[in-house]
Amino acid sequence: MGKGGKSHEETKSGEDENMAAWLVGLNTLKIQPFKLPPLGPHDARVRMKAVGICGSDVHYLKTMRCADFVVKEPMVIGHECAGIIEEVGSEVKNLVPGDHVALEPGISCWRCDLCKDGRYNLCPEMKFFATPPVHGSLAHQVVHPADLCFKLPDNVSLEEGAMCEPLSVGVHACRRANIGPETNVLVMGAGPIGLVTMMAARAFGAPRIVIVDVDDNRLSVAKNLGADGIVKVSTNMQDVAEEVERICKAMGGGVDVSFDCAGFNKTMSTALSATRAGGRVCLVGMGHHEMTVPLTPAAAREVDVIGIFRYRNTWPLCIEFLRSGKIDVKPLITHRFGFSQKEVEEAFETSAGGGSAIKVMFNL
Amino acid sequence: MKAVGICGSDVHFLKTLRLADFVVKEPMVIGHECAGIIEEIGSEVKNLVPGDRVALEPGIGCWRCDRCKEGRYNICPDMKFFATPPVHGSLARQVVHPADLCFKLPDNISLEEGAMCEPLSVAVHACRRANIGPETNVLVMGAGPIGLVTLLAARAFGAPRIVIVDVDDYRLSVANNLGADGVVKVSTNMQDIPEEVERICEVMGAVGVHVTFDCAGFNKTMSTALSATRAGGKVCLVGLGHNEMTVPLTPAAAREVDIIGIFRYKNTWPLCIELLRSGKIDVKPLITHRFGFSQEEVEEAFETSARGGDAIKVMFNL
């Protein structure tokens, strides 16, 4: 996976060269050839049809790094994707050419303790689309393990398939937080991750969901997507006490679980204060390295802090939620672009601009 | 009352007249780690008779709220707890207490050991919430009374390897004698964290730290704990140090290291008593100083406890 490289050879006659969007330097994306690795017996070659832009993709574009991962050489960007099977390896039994599939980006080692324990999302050897040095999937074609390609039912589009990736973060968070018919949920942040988390929480049976944000537009989107309550908040630390009051009022009962989908001192502090004794706060958003939060009063009420990193074993459930209509992600796709140099640049600008742009999707 | 231990919270109330949101507004009897002999029981009490030696669980939950009804009575908002204002404590000749919170001691357990059930309960509760067992390597931050009972409880729960850290050599040697697999001396300097994490992991061995108990509750200890614990592990915040803390929360969350809050205990006395009865845990070495119940000795006892160092558990014998 992602082991392909830049090709300087002439294209074979009658064959299209595989092209991809490469991050070649700070703020610089270029559509260039992307040589595919050979197809292994357990691999599939997938023609990409829908690729979404994630906040992390934008972060790499703007800073060439994310946490401890640094882009040291040109790297293909993108990881939220779905496409059509072109070819499968000799050992592949579950897929045939023509199948529509959504791709789970990360290939783990399956030899370490964490993998063997099923917590493969934490594998130290994880090879993940567009986390350097592994190439991403904003390309005409990629080669990927077939067991990480999940067949889409007829009533789920390829764009919805690509949305399985961000939705998976919400689903994994709901599982770790044990969301069910008795957990009132608070979501900090109504961006793409906050919104998919809200939708996942509802699908898991949460009876009441309140979502907060600084932006009125995003709050109204959240309302239309079914939030029971929306609360406008500020970026001012002094406002925490007053906002906790308004949140608890909007919730009615206590807050059992909070999802911090923004990841700032303010949102985390609010979440810790607003969550009832014995409840849980999930840190989903990865904002700042060090955080200053009222940890002790929370611990003294046995409010636990649960870390969320990507997902594991979520594609089948996401696909089922989409197939059955329990979750409808289509309203989150607000902007669409084709796969040309100009459109790639414009798409990333749009995504980076936030605001009314929730999910920006490429159609290839 | 026959045996009453002094807790850090008792000392804190003495020195500041407050603890977190609890404020001593009127005179209050101090003390809550206690054991004694039944003098008299109420008409409905069937499980105890006068003469029985009992250890007391301090806190009375309301038993009407959601938290109590789901068994998490330790976080009952209406909890009435010995020596948490405005509720009087138990450093007294006699107290009246619900009989269901008085636990009979077997013959081979002393009243002093009975009083030790209270701090030991904090550790037992922490080990339960953290799921300590035969596969969890444990790191303990702080070798004070709570760090030490946590070391003992973790071993009783089956932890295969336990490393404990402290700034104080004497306390580390006590920990060594109590069975720590490794001791690491650390500083109060934030800059030393990476080097300390390295030393801790070296002492723990290749598999790494599955669960860390921060029994001190400072930015330094919490930051070290979060960095030293392996992906998918847990850090229990046991020590309640400062209100706001500045810690590397995000890198920990990005490795799914969870933070578990520990507040007092629930349903721990029967297990503590059994662990003491069977000899799986021996708390006697932790009782370092003893005092009688006179004005002068009470003052001296609190001074001794407050200075820390070689004073681990200071016990009153009444």
* Statement to judge: residues B114 and B12 lie in one domain: yes
- The answer to whether position A281 is within a domain reads yes
Residues of B with CB under 8 A from a CB of A: 20, 67, 70, 72, 74-75, 77, 129, 207, 217, 222, 231-232, 237, 240-263
The CATH number of whichever domain residue B257 belongs to comes to 3.40.50.720
Q: What is the number of alpha carbons within 13 Å of residue A111 lying toward its C-beta? A: 2
Write b or e for each residue in B251-283: b if 16 or more Cβ atoms lie within 10 A of its Cβ, otherwise e.
bbbbbbbbbbbbbbbbebbebbbebbeeeebeb
Please give the single-letter amino acid code of residue B223: S
- The answer to whether position A225 is within a domain reads yes
* A34 vs A137: CA distance, rounded Å: 10
* B4 vs B285: CA distance, rounded Å: 16
Angle of the A216-224 helix axis to the A192-203 helix axis, nearest 10: 20
Task: Tell which of B227, B246, B261 closes a domain.
Answer: B261
* Statement to judge: residues B206 and B281 lie in one domain: no
- The answer to whether position A95 is within a domain reads yes
* B267 vs A131: CA distance, rounded Å: 47
* Statement to judge: residues B218 and B160 lie in one domain: yes
Q: SS3 helix, strand, coil % of chain A, rounded to 5?
A: 30, 25, 40
DSSP label at residue B135: T
Convert the pLDDT of each residue in B186-241 to its tens digit: 999 999 999 999 999 999 999 999 999 999 999 999 999 999 999 999 999 998 88
* A319 vs A77: CA distance, rounded Å: 24
Which of B68, B244, B249 would best serve as a mutation to test chain A binding (most A beta carbons within 10 A)? B249
Closest CA to B236 of B76, B128, B316, B99: B128
* Statement to judge: residues A22 and A120 lie in one domain: yes
Q: What pLDDT score does A287 carry?
A: 81
The CATH number of whichever domain residue B286 belongs to comes to 3.90.180.10
pLDDT at residue A116 above 50? yes
pLDDT at residue B53 above 60? yes
Q: For chain A, give the percent of residues with pLDDT over 70.
A: 96
* Statement to judge: residues A34 and A144 lie in one domain: yes
Closest CA to A126 of A79, A178, A174, A93: A79
- The answer to whether position A236 is within a domain reads yes
Q: Would the CB atoms of B262 and A299 count as touching at under 8 Å? A: yes
Q: What pLDDT score does A14 carry?
A: 42
* Statement to judge: residues A143 and A189 lie in one domain: no
The dihedral of CA A188, A192, A197, A202: what is its sign? positive
Among chain A residues, the shortest Cα distance to B248 is held by: A290
For the ranges A242-251, A283-292, B200-209, the lowest mean pLDDT is seen at A283-292
* Statement to judge: residues B77 and B171 lie in one domain: no
Q: Are A46 and A144 in contact (CB under 8 A)?
A: yes
Q: Would the CB atoms of A263 and B251 count as touching at under 8 Å? A: no
pLDDT at residue A13 above 60? no
Structural domain for B276, as ranges: 3-120+265-317
Convert the pLDDT of each residue in A14-27 to its tens digit: 457 999 999 999 99
Residues of A with CB under 8 A from a CB of B: 67, 113-114, 117, 119, 121-122, 124, 176, 263, 268, 277-278, 283, 286-309
* Statement to judge: residues A268 and A339 lie in one domain: no
- The answer to whether position A56 is within a domain reads yes
Structure token digits, residue B291: 């005092």
pLDDT at residue A54 above 90? yes
Q: Would the CB atoms of B237 and A307 count as touching at under 8 Å? A: no
The count of other CB atoms within 10 Å of the CB of residue B240 is 21
* Statement to judge: residues B143 and B255 lie in one domain: yes
Per the structure, the count of domains in chain B is 2
Please give the single-letter amino acid code of residue B247: V
DSSP label at residue A98: T
Rounded to two decimals, the ipTM of the complex is 0.90
Q: Would the CB atoms of A300 and B217 count as touching at under 8 Å? A: no
Q: Are A197 and A169 in contact (CB under 8 A)?
A: yes
Provide the whole-model pTM: 0.91
* Statement to judge: residues A56 and A123 lie in one domain: yes
- The answer to whether position A317 is within a domain reads no
- The answer to whether position A157 is within a domain reads no
Q: What pLDDT score does A36 carry?
A: 97
Convert the pLDDT of each residue in B25-47 to its tens digit: 999 999 999 999 999 999 999 99
* Statement to judge: residues A31 and A142 lie in one domain: yes
* B306 vs B170: CA distance, rounded Å: 17
Number of residues in chain B: 318
Convert the pLDDT of each residue in B107-121 to its tens digit: 999 999 999 999 999
Q: Are B229 and A307 in contact (CB under 8 A)?
A: no
* B36 vs A54: CA distance, rounded Å: 64
Q: What pLDDT score does A9 carry?
A: 46
Q: Would the CB atoms of B256 and A124 count as touching at under 8 Å? A: no
Q: Would the CB atoms of B222 and A117 count as touching at under 8 Å? A: no
Q: Would the CB atoms of B256 and A301 count as touching at under 8 Å? A: no
* Statement to judge: residues A41 and A71 lie in one domain: yes
- The answer to whether position A97 is within a domain reads yes
